[in-house]
Structure formats: structure tokens, C-alpha cells
Amino acid sequence: MYHPVIRKPDLRVGLLMGLLLGLSLLLLSACGGQGGQGEKEAKAAANKEIDNPLVGTWRRTRTCDDYVSQLRQAGLADKIPSHQEFVGEFGADNTQSGQDPDDPCAGIKEAPVAHDNVFYKNGRFAALDENGEFTDAGHYKVPNDHTIVWPPPSDPTDPWSTGPAVTAHFNFSNDHDTVKFDVVLPDNLDECSQLCRDVYGWGVIATYSERPWNHVPPEDQWPGEAS
């Protein structure tokens, strides 16, 4: 009698093979599901917005002497405003003798003047004087938890649109209620164009590392400052 070379599998062997195949498919399905979930979590983490610790209103005071000192220390003495501009910002002291060509703060009130910087959630930046008047506006970015960047204006008709970005590092104290900035100046500042020096002069005064900035609660903010 003829016997085929390939014999029919035993029933128990068939059941065992079927069970192993089922387990393999189940494991592959589980691994695929975990991989998909992991990929979704990675994408969600990548798309998550960086928590911006600067959002809010920050206030500090300054004097004419502070203003001049900051620019001189930065190597930007040529960007010190005129005596008349200082009178407009700080007021004239009628008890003093008057203007001194060697001292731009002669005849200027010595009382500190408040100044606010507002960082909005949408990346908008604004500055206000001691009367609550908006004196400056722009945009900013926070690439990490200790750096702020003011890019040049995007409007090509703005004279500063071709200038450099201003970068500063910041650190908090007093349970995040106080912050100090340290503007980053280029090594070749002396070789900068006038536009470049104008921009960095603004950066020195806007960040004002000589005095800390204090967080301003909503009840003490000027109208329109809400971030």
C-alpha cells in the first residue's frame, strides 16, 4: 500500500500550532498599539507650548544717573539722550543751577521714576511710563526658561527691520516675584553700525540690569496692561 511522504499532522500538534499562532498575532497587535500610543505621546509633548514665566507686568524704577551709567558701562555712551530728552522723561529740578555739558543729568530731578514692561501671552511686548502711557511696543520670544529674544520688526518699512535681534538672559528671585535681566552684547560692538548701536542701546535700557523688576499684581496695573 502506498504511503505519502508527508503525513497528516497529529491533532494535538495542530492544536498547539494554532495556539502559538494566535499568541503571536496577539503580541504583535499589542506591540503595534503601544508603539502608536508612544508616537502620539511624543508628538503631543513636542507640540506642547513652553511655559512662559515672564507673562505679566514687571515694574522697576530708574533715575537719570542710572540711565547714563547703564549706557556708559555697556560701551554705548554715544547713545545717551540729550539733556532736553531727560527733562522730558524725568523732569527738571529748578533748585539746581542748570545744564552742565559734561553731565547730562545736571538740573534733572533725582527722584526715581517707575517704568513697566508687559509680556503678553501671545508674544506681544509693551512698555509704559510712570503715567501709564504706552511708550514702546514690539514682539518677543522665549526659547527657554532663562532667555528672551526681541526679534527685529517684521515690517520692512520699519528702519529697525534690518537691525539685529536683542537677546537677554533672566533669572528670578523672591519666589518668582522679582526678575533681573542681563542683555547679551556682541564682542564687536565698537564695529557695529549706527543702527546696530541704536538697537543695542535700546536693549540695555529695556532690560536695565542695574535694578530688579518686580511683578505687578492685577490690582496695581495701569488700564490696558492686563496680559
Residue 47 has a pLDDT of 41
Whether the Cβ atoms of residue 112 and residue 129 lie closer than 8 Å to each other = no
Domain ranges of the chain: 1-48, 56-220
Residue 18 has pLDDT above 90, yes or no: no
Residue 197 has a pLDDT of 98
Q: For residue 188, with 0-12 CB atoms within 10 Å meaning exposed, 13-18 middle and 19 or more buried, which class applies?
A: exposed
pTM equals 0.75
Rounded mean pLDDT of the chain? Answer: 82
Query: Options 1.10.1660, 2.60.40, 3.40.1000, 2.40.128; which CATH number does 56-220 get?
Result: 2.40.128
Spatial distance between the Cα atoms of 208 and 174, rounded to a whole number of angstroms:
18
Q: What is the pLDDT of residues 76-96, one digit of tens each?
A: 999 999 999 999 999 998 766
